[in-house]
Copies of this chain bind each other. A is one copy, B any other.
Amino acid sequence: MKSPTLPAVARAFREIGRDFHTRGWVLGTSGNFSAVLTRKPLRLAITASSVSKGDIRPGDVLTVGVTAARVGNSGTRSRLRPSAETALHVAVVQSQGAGAVLHTHSVWSTMLSELHSAEHGLRFSGFEMLKGLEGVRTHEHAEWVPILENDQDIPALARRVEIVMKQSPAIHGFLLRGHGLYTWGDDLPQARRHVEILEFLLETTGRMHSFRK
Contacts and interface: CB of A to CB of B under 8 A. Distances in A.
A52 B129 CA distance: 13
Contacts of A129: 27-28, 30, 105, 110, 178-179
Interface stretch (A73-81, A89-97, A132-140): A132-140
Interface string A105-139: 10100110011000000000011110010000111
B176 A128 contact: yes
A139 to B, nearest CB: 6
Interface in A161-207: 176-180, 189, 193, 196-197, 199-200, 203-204, 206-207
Contacts of A30: 128-129, 132, 200
B152 A200 contact: no
A177 B139 CA distance: 10
A67 interface: no
Contacts of A8: none
Nearest to A151: B139
A23 B127 CA distance: 19
Interface in A19-46: 23-24, 27-30
29 contacts: A24-B200, A27-B129, A27-B197, A28-B129, A28-B132, A28-B193, A28-B196, A28-B200, A29-B193, A30-B132, A30-B200, A52-B193, A105-B129, A107-B203, A107-B204, A110-B204, A111-B207, A126-B178, A127-B178, A127-B179, A128-B150, A128-B180, A129-B178, A137-B152, A139-B152, A139-B179, A209-B210, A210-B210, A210-B211
Nearest to A212: B115
A2 interface: no
A179 B132 CA distance: 12
Given A52-B193, A139-B152, A197-B27, A211 B115 contact: yes
